[in-house]
């Protein structure tokens, strides 16, 4: 059952990797808010980290890659870097966690090294959760603030895109994966210390026996 928990964490980590890549690639971070003039002309505009997609009425949607990083708003610039960093982190986490599982042959029979590796993998998953959650929440917060800001024209107001919801779900998956791995580390750590605790208790019993024998000898002398 405990080994299955580690395999389950690996599966969740792989799902988290797919989700992180999907969030980074999707152009639906910001989508057109159908209010005011946009409701009449039915223009649809998607904005992502790498491209924008535009469609009007029944015309086929056309996508264009950004000519420069500098034309992006600050939150999307930061999101691009953080999401790319998240992908790298999740990939490293998968490899590290794979080496830390009991059935892995990376560290041989050295359970202490495997435990440390597993804890490192869990910590990396928690870090990747943060680097995914921060850009998604930042962009989401900016969209909501601009939507309710009367000073922002209707043409520049957006709604939350699908990529943001996938990003929040992916952050939750990465968080759960990290917690599972750290929980397994604590279990394996306590099991690793059991022999030392038993040896300590046995040594204490031997000392008590020796003291009692010595006390009896002194009394009878």
Q: What is the pLDDT along the chain (221 residues), one digit of tens a residue?
A: 566 788 888 899 999 999 999 999 999 998 886 655 555 456 778 888 999 888 776 777 788 898 888 888 899 999 999 999 999 999 999 988 888 776 666 666 666 777 888 889 899 999 999 999 999 999 999 999 988 888 887 777 888 989 999 999 999 999 999 999 888 888 777 665 544 444 444 555 555 555 554 454 444 55
0.85 exceeded by the pTM?
no
Do 37 and 155 form a contact (C-beta atoms < 8 A)?
Answer: yes
User: Which is nearest to 179 in space by CA: 122, 217, 219?
Assistant: 122
Determine the pLDDT at residue 156: 77
- What residues form DSSP beta bridges with 64? 52
Do 153 and 28 form a contact (C-beta atoms < 8 A)?
Answer: no
Tell me how far apart the alpha carbons of residues 200 and 187 are, in angstroms, rounded to a whole number.
Answer: 20
Determine the pLDDT at residue 213: 46
- What residues form DSSP beta bridges with 65? 51
Do 188 and 118 form a contact (C-beta atoms < 8 A)?
Answer: yes
Determine the pLDDT at residue 109: 64
Where do the H-state alpha helices sit in 148-161?
A: none
Pairing outcome for strands 62-65 and 51-56: antiparallel
Radius of gyration of the chain (CA): 28
Determine the pLDDT at residue 188: 72
- The helix/strand/coil state of 99 is helix
- The helix/strand/coil state of 43 is strand
Determine the pLDDT at residue 150: 83
């Amino acid at each position: 059952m405990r080994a299955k928990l580690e395999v389950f964490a690996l599966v969740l980590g792989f799902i988290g990797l797919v989700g992180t890549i999907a969030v980074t690639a999707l152009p639906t971070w910001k989508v057109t808010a159908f209010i005011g003039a946009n409701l009449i002309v039915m223009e649809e505009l998607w904005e992502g980290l790498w491209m924008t997609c535009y469609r009007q009425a029944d015309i086929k949607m056309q996508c264009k890659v950004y000519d420069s990083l500098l034309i992006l708003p600050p939150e999307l610039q930061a999101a691009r870097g953080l999401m790319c960093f998240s992908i790298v982190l999740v990939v490293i986490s998968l490899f590290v966690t794979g080496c830390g599982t009991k059935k892995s042959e990376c560290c041989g029979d050295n359970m202490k090294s495997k435990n440390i590796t597993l804890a490192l993998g869990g910590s990396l998953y928690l870090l990747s959760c943060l680097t995914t959650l921060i850009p998604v929440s930042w962009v989401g917060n900016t969209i909501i603030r601009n939507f309710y800001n009367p000073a922002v024209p209707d043409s520049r107001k957006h709604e939350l895109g699908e990529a943001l919801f996938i990003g929040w779900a992916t952050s939750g998956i990465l968080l759960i994966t990290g917690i599972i791995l750290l929980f397994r580390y604590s279990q394996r750590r306590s099991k690793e210390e059991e022999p030392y605790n038993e040896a300590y208790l046995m040594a204490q019993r031997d000392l008590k026996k020796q003291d009692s024998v010595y006390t009896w000898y002194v009394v009878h002398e």
